Amino acid sequence: MSDAYGTYDPAELPGRKAATPEGSTLKAEDGTPLPSFDKRHEEAFKGLMYLGSLTSRFNWLGHDFVIRTLGADEQLAIGQVIRPWVGTGGAEHLAYSVAIVSLCVVTVDGEELPSPIGEDGKVAEWAQQRFAYVKANWFQYTINKVFQEYLELEDKAQQVVDAMGKAFAPTASTPGSNGS
């Protein structure tokens, strides 16, 4: 997996904004630098829209993949997309991984996955079409690889959020520090 992480602006369509690497001052517990979130996270309210948003690029079997973490609308759409497989055992797990993969992929070899024509912001329709495409056209090995990369990206995002929490946590007060 590439060390180059960028940000994803949920206000833009997937694949329309290039992922750019950013420096980081946050460190993982092992001391390695963590990727930075979009600088907009520093603004009090607006930053909450972008917190947790990371992208990653990796090559697999000669193909260049760009994936990203998912927003709440996309995560909620997964439930609608996999509804026919809920309670079917292994098929439910497979449907879940196909749904995650179909929504997290920004581009493959620079090309976006199919999206509905005239997309007007209906995430459920967009998610259903992408899910159907991946389910019908991608083999399990590809789905497994992209899903694993997505889990690693989500783990990295959680590490960054945890590190930010520690970096921005209030410090304990000491006697006399309040001016008395």
63-68 and 105-108 strand pairing: antiparallel
Q: How far apart are CA 148 and CA 105, in angstroms?
A: 12
Helix (H, G, I), strand (E, B) or coil at 85: helix
The three-class DSSP label of residue 94 is helix
Residue 79: DSSP 8-state: H
Domain edges within the chain = 5-167
Give the pLDDT confidence of 9-29 residue by residue, as tens digits.
444 434 444 433 444 566 677
Name the CATH superfamily housing domain 5-167: Phage tail assembly chaperone gp13-like (3.30.2220.20)
Task: Per-residue pLDDT tens, the chain, 180 aa: give them.
Answer: 443 444 444 444 344 444 334 445 666 778 777 666 556 555 544 555 666 778 899 999 999 999 999 988 899 999 999 999 999 988 999 999 999 999 999 999 999 887 766 555 677 888 999 999 999 999 999 999 999 999 999 988 888 777 777 766 676 655 655 554
d(CA 136, CA 139): 8
What's at 101, amino acid-wise?
V
Q: What is the pTM of this model?
A: 0.69
Rounded Cα gap, residues 84 and 173, in angstroms: 54
The helix/strand/coil state of 29 is coil
